[in-house]
Amino acid sequence: MKVIVTGSTGYVGSEVIRQAIADERITHVFALTRKPLPEDLAKSPKITVVEHQDFSTYPPELLAKLAGAEACIWTLGGRAYQFPDVETARKISVDYTLAAAKAFIEQLAPQLPDPQKFRFLFCSGKWAEWDEKKNMRVFADTRRIKGQVEKGLCDLADANQNKFEVWAVRPGAITKRHAGLMNLLTANTSGFIELDHLARAMLTIVVEGHKNRIIEAEELLKM
């Protein structure tokens, strides 16, 4: 399978690429990124780096570089407090993600042979909330934004059932293997998953599919 990966230089995205290089099921990765990849990743023959600065728009010349892609693993974004303000967080997390999904539906999905559908996997987060009016005391902005992306993607999938399917994974705290004791104690309070485990699970979902569109942390740990 040929897969697009965003957030390629980030914590999760870079690990997805590392795992994809080692995964025989993944034949090629298009790393859609603003910044160059680390040399150890970029030198792999399985990687094509596609530099792109404005994730709100997908011109024909960019999409031509992604021709043949069958799926996308979207790890661009983060928690709301990591951005200057909520508006910026929503723009990057919601607007950018849905703009890409729409472009892939319109331009990449039709290139696939019937009945194959373009697959889109969104890295969401634990406790993502679809009800924007719900009163939440913890991580409210982040949970609303993640929920808004999930709902938007599912709406697109419902409207394009013959050519687009979507999943959203909801990991809790994400730790590196052999993390320090303090990190593990903190992570255990929110359902942690090791980074390499998460990356492998995401690749399995995008290759094999999953019965549930929303995949909670507990299910990810079983994969």
- The residues spanned by each domain of the chain are 2-220
Mean pLDDT over each residue of the chain, to the nearest integer: 92
Contacts of 61 (CB under 8 A, 6+ apart): none
Q: Is the pTM of this model over 0.85?
A: yes
- In one-letter notation, the amino acid at residue 70 is E
Cβ(199)–Cβ(16) under 8 Å?
yes
Q: Phi and psi at residue 74, in whole multiples of 5°?
A: -105, 110
Task: For residue 193, list its beta bridge partners.
Answer: 174
- In one-letter notation, the amino acid at residue 62 is L
Q: Would you state the pLDDT for residue 182?
A: 44
Contacts of 200 (CB under 8 A, 6+ apart): 19, 23, 223
Asked if residue 4 has pLDDT above 60, the reply is: yes
C-alpha dist (Å) from residue 22 to 16, 18, 120, 131: 10, 7, 21, 39
Cβ(204)–Cβ(166) under 8 Å?
no
Q: Would you state the pLDDT for residue 188?
A: 46
Q: What average pLDDT score do residues 40-64 get?
A: 96
Q: Would you state the pLDDT for residue 187?
A: 45
For the domain with range 2-220, which CATH number is right: 3.30.420.40, 3.60.21.10, 3.40.50.1100, 3.40.50.720?
Answer: 3.40.50.720
> pLDDT of 212-222, one tens digit each?
999 998 999 99
